Amino acid sequence: MLDLTEMMQELNAMEIEAPANNERKLLRMRDSVAVMQRQLRAFAETLEHATIAHIDMHGDIAISDTERLYVGTTRTNKSIGDGQEITMAVLEAGGGSMELLTSGEGGLLAAQPWKYGAVKKLLGDTKTAQLFTTEERQDIKTGKALRSVKTFDSRFTK
């Protein structure tokens, strides 16, 4: 299997006049990249577990004066239902402003489509708790909360 530097050199050296040779090289490189991606994902997971174990044993890892790595649970916030209640609550709290439904500056929609933090800020904890559920992602093997290494930067705390 070629390494990345060799593949970059080979890609740059391809001859326009030899498409059959290029196709074989391109297919071989694609296969090599797919293998590297699998290996890198597996290594990243192994590194994540090793970092969690290190932090569990020795404490947070300082990145700089303001940033540190710590271990926390991975959570996702999902709207309950089809979003109609959220839409109505946002429109009521925002005085009927449809501008709040845009995804631009000050808008509350994202791909999910709701920006959980922005909706919570507008509606408050009680109403938000009625409209969203918070789920902790679970490890498929153990069924326990999935833990991951997170970055904390004190510059962004209140």
Instruction: Give counts: helices (H), strands (E), the chain.
Output: 5, 5
- The three-state secondary structure class of 49 is helix
Average pLDDT over residues 18-38: 89
Band the pLDDT of 53: cuts 50, 70, 90.
very high
Q: What percent of the chain has pLDDT over 70?
A: 97
Chain mean pLDDT for the chain:
87
What is the rounded radius of gyration, in angstroms, for the C-alpha atoms of the chain?
Answer: 24
pLDDT 10s digits, 66-79: 999 999 988 888 88
Q: How far apart are CA 37 and CA 33, in angstroms?
A: 6
Q: Does pTM surpass 0.95? A: no
Res 100: pLDDT: 78
Check if the beta carbon of residue 69 is closer than 8 Å to that of residue 55: yes
**Rounded to the nearest 10 degrees, how much is the dihedral formed by the CA atoms of 95, 101, 107, 113?**
140
Band the pLDDT of 134: cuts 50, 70, 90.
confident
